[in-house]
């Protein structure tokens, strides 16, 4: 994932070598001893981390790759039956639901949440910037982020019910009730709204940081030229906010492509496959049907999609002369 | 152009958005106080007729809340403690010690942040099931349920966090080497240098990382669901509440579910309100989630 911090900071290296060495033989021996001691200590300090990465990163990656090219029924590791790329072929064979609707849903889900969250957060962040009590507002917008997906999913699921808040508002406005999560046409958009609602807070935070970094002199110059607030927003704020926007865009898109916890809680992928997404399908193949091979293959396909989408976004941004 | 003193449009947008954000939480709280037959009925009513506290008692009784709470606390404590410790140790080594392979390890740490979590659910689960010599397994990890029978299974895949190491390292790089060198000359070993000098200086970033980790661990759902499907004894709060929601009549028990949800998000909410400065800084640093 992309990070806000620059990955490498320039280090000021003051090794023991530079620290007042006179070049004598005694110093030399001391230096070697120090360096050897640092190496031992360094690896000692890193030992838990390296052990963890070996067991929970390297081993699983190899394991997942092996499984994705095998058929495996049971729990005995000796029964793993290599089948080459059959699992991948099965995902894309005619009549498979993986490409459509599942991958399509995944992309629509990610696109929808990014579009909604971005539009909402740009608007709100820009407006908060003009108000007092900014901390209070940001805290309010932050509530969904610190809340478990189980709470968010259940509250919204309940609000979408015929006797729930959303339909209550619709009825009060004289409109009929909508079976949001039961209707295949509305289920996916309904879940998208919730995911966007849950992620607006983070986006606001990052955009606010971006807004703060725009020099006041630009706005003063615009005011002197008599530019209205809308012009200022389109001609100054948005272009200068682009790095933050790109960052929000990429991270939210990645999150959107991968998320499924909310969907498990709200719809379990239904009705039918209307809200089924790739990560959920993978989860179900593995843990409901015990088809570890297909599930692992689906995981790698999703990984590839995430990677490609991210690279394409980065490429587009480069093309526009922006460095993220 | 006359500058408006009162930015009414901004207030309109921000207040509307804040209402949209807060109302679902209010609805949750209000529903948790509704009596039997008061929720899910038409027409919709926001306020309960009387503030009925019995749902909270029902949630505690039906959910075996103390056990869920205990499991959540243990898993969260294990994860947070381990992430802080390993991030600080590894961060120190990567920032301040010189040894062959350091740059390679740092790149490895960075790369771990790029792997999507779903890629690991299946292999992590299988690794825990086939962990040698525990939970009835033999040396080759066969025969039993492995580590999936223990609470540690909830925490295992989250004990080390690449972002945590990265964050600590970035912070520690700025600690002057002269201070560390002086301590070394005074005869302090590397462990003492880390514990006495580096750790105290990194307290703010430790709080930030600790809070981020705590919130994530407390709210984690998918992995906990997976582990407790294999062994219901290690169910956490989110999993337990979701289970209650799944198996009972939604119109009658919705208030009980909402009461359980209120109880489950309360600890993290209080902690967030107390330490939000640190949490917000953490999210801005990571930009993840």
Orientation angle between helical segments B102-112 and B65-96, nearest 10 degrees = 150
Chain A CB contacts of B44 below 8 Å: 163-165, 167-168, 171
Contact, A262 vs A152, CB < 8 A? Answer: yes
Instruction: Give the residues of chain B that fall short of pLDDT 70.
Output: 1-6, 141, 247-252, 286-289
Cβ contacts below 8 Å, chain A against chain B, sum to: 308
A52 interfacial to chain B (CB closer than 8 Å): yes
Backbone angles phi, psi at A70, to 5 degrees: -135, 165
B47 interfacial to chain A (CB closer than 8 Å): no
Q: Cβ separation of A143 and B105 shorter than 8 Å?
A: no
Contact, A300 vs A64, CB < 8 A? Answer: yes
Per DSSP, what are the bridge partners of residue A82? A70
Between CA B11 and CA B100 the distance in angstroms is 57
Q: What is the pLDDT of residues A263-316, one digit of tens each?
A: 999 998 878 889 999 999 999 888 888 888 888 999 999 999 988 988 888 787
A303 interfacial to chain B (CB closer than 8 Å): yes
Q: Which of A159, B9, B226 is nearest to B235 (CA)?
A: B226
Q: What is the pLDDT of residues A161-180, one digit of tens each?
A: 888 899 989 988 988 888 89
Chain A CB contacts of B182 below 8 Å: none
Contacts of A178 (CB under 8 A, 6+ apart): A166, A167, A170, A186
- pLDDT, residue A27, reads 73
Share of chain A above pLDDT 70, in %: 89
Mean pLDDT of chain A: 84
- pLDDT, residue A15, reads 45
pTM (2 d.p.): 0.86
pLDDT at A152 over 90: yes
Q: Cβ separation of A46 and B257 shorter than 8 Å?
A: no
- pLDDT, residue B5, reads 56
Contact, B178 vs B163, CB < 8 A? Answer: no
Contacts of B138 (CB under 8 A, 6+ apart): B132, B144
Question: Chain B, 12-31: which have a CB under 8 Å from a chain A CB?
Answer: 13-14, 17-18, 20-25, 27-28, 31
Chain B CB contacts of A3 below 8 Å: 113, 163, 166, 286-287
Between CA B80 and CA B73 the distance in angstroms is 10
State CA A67 to chain mean position distance. 25
Rounded to 5°, angle at Cα B250 from B245 and B251? 150
Q: Could you tell me the sign of the dihedral formed by the alpha carbons of A22, A23, A25, A29, in that order?
A: positive
Location of structure tokens 């359980």: B260
- For residue B158, give the DSSP letter: G
Location of structure tokens 């010690």: B97
Q: What is the pLDDT of residues A30-84, one digit of tens each?
A: 778 777 888 888 999 999 999 999 999 999 999 889 888 988 876 666 777 788 8
Question: Chain B, 183-242: which have a CB under 8 Å from a chain A CB?
Answer: 189-191, 194, 215, 218-219, 221-222, 225-226, 229, 237-239, 241-242
- pLDDT, residue A48, reads 95
Contact, B128 vs B156, CB < 8 A? Answer: yes
B51 interfacial to chain A (CB closer than 8 Å): no
Question: Chain B, 119-178: which have a CB under 8 Å from a chain A CB?
Answer: 119-127, 129-130, 140-142, 156-157, 159-160, 163, 165-166, 170, 173, 177-178
Question: Chain B, 240-259: which have a CB under 8 Å from a chain A CB?
Answer: 241-242, 245, 250-251, 254, 257-258
Neighbours of A226 (CB within 10 A): 8
The CA distances from residue A12 to A42, A202, B11, B94, in Å, are: 18, 33, 47, 13
Chain A CB contacts of B76 below 8 Å: none
Q: What is the pLDDT of residues B260-275, one digit of tens each?
A: 899 989 989 998 888 8
Between CA A160 and CA A152 the distance in angstroms is 12
Between CA A302 and CA A282 the distance in angstroms is 9
Per DSSP, what are the bridge partners of residue A70? A82
The distance of B188 to chain A (nearest Cα, Å) reads: 13
Chain A interface disruption, residue of B119, B256, B275, most A CBs within 10 A: B119
* 3-class DSSP assignment, residue B214: helix
Among all residues of chain A, which has the CA nearest to that of B9?
A127
What are the DSSP calls for A254-299, one per residue? HHHHH--HHHHHHTTT-STTTT--HHHHHHHHHHTS--HHHHHHHH
Among all residues of chain A, which has the CA nearest to that of B220?
A148
What's the pLDDT band for A12 if we cut at 50, 70, 90?
very low
């Amino acid at each position: 994932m992309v990070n806000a911090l620059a990955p490498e900071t320039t280090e000021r290296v003051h090794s023991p070598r530079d620290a007042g060495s006179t070049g004598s033989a005694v110093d030399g021996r001391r230096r070697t001893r120090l360096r050897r001691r640092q190496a031992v200590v360094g690896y000692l300090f890193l030992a838990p981390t390296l052990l963890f990465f070996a067991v929970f990163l390297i081993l699983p990656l190899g394991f997942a790759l092996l499984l994705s090219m095998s058929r495996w029924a049971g729990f005995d590791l000796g029964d793993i039956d290599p089948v080459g790329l059959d699992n991948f072929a099965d995902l894309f064979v005619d009549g498979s639901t993986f490409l459509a609707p599942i991958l399509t849903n995944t992309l629509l889900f990610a696109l929808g949440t990014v579009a909604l969250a971005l539009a909402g957060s740009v608007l709100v962040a820009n407006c908060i910037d003009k108000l007092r009590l900014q901390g209070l507002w940001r805290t309010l917008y932050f509530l969904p982020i610190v809340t478990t997906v189980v709470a968010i999913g259940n509250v919204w699921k309940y609000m979408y019910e015929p006797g729930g808040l959303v339909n209550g508002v619709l009825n009060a406005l004289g409109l009929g009730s909508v079976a949001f999560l039961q209707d295949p046409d509305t289920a996916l958009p309904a879940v998208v709204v919730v995911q966007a609602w849950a992620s607006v807070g983070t986006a606001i935070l990052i955009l606010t940081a971006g807004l703060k970094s725009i020099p006041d002199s630009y706005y003063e110059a615009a005011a002197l030229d008599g530019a209205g607030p809308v012009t200022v927003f389109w001609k100054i704020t948005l272009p200068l906010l682009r790095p933050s926007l790109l960052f929000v865009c990429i991270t939210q898109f990645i999150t959107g492509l991968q998320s499924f916890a909310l969907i498990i809680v709200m719809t379990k992928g239904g009705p039918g496959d209307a809200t089924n997404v790739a990560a959920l399908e993978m989860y179900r193949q593995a843990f409901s049907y015990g088809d570890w091979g297909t599930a692992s293959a689906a995981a790698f396909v999703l990984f590839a999609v995430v990677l490609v989408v991210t690279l394409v976004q980065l490429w587009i941004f480069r093309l526009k002369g922006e460095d993220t | 152009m006359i500058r408006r003193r009162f930015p009414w449009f901004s207030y309109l947008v921000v207040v509307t958005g804040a209402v949209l954000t807060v109302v679902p939480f209010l609805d949750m709280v209000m529903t948790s106080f509704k009596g039997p037959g008061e929720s899910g009925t038409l027409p919709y009513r926001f306020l309960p007729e009387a503030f009925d506290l019995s749902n909270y008692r029902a949630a505690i009784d039906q959910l075996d809340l103390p056990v869920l709470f205990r499991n959540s606390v243990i898993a969260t404590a294990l994860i947070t403690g381990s992430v802080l410790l390993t991030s600080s140790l590894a961060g120190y080594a990567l920032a301040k010690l010189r040894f062959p392979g350091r740059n390679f390890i740092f790149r490895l740490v960075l790369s771990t942040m790029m792997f999507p979590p779903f890629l690991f659910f299946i292999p992590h689960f299988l690794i825990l099931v086939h962990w040698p010599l525990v939970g009835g397994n033999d040396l080759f990890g066969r025969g039993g349920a492995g580590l999936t029978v223990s609470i540690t299974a909830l925490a295992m895949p989250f004990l080390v966090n690449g972002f945590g190491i990265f964050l600590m390292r970035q912070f520690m790089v700025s600690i002057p080497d002269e201070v560390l060198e002086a301590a070394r000359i005074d005869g302090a070993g590397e462990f003492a240098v880390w514990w006495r000098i580096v750790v105290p200086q990194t307290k703010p970033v430790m709080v930030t990382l600790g809070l981020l980790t705590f919130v994530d661990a407390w709210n984690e759902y998918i992995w906990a669901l997976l582990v407790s499907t294999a062994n219901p004894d290690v169910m956490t709060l989110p999993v337990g509440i979701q289970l209650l929601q799944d198996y009972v009549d939604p119109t009658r028990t919705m208030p009980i579910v909402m009461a359980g949800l209120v109880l489950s998000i309360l600890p993290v909410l209080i902690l967030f309100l107390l330490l939000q400065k640190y949490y917000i800084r953490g999210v801005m640093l990571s930009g993840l989630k």
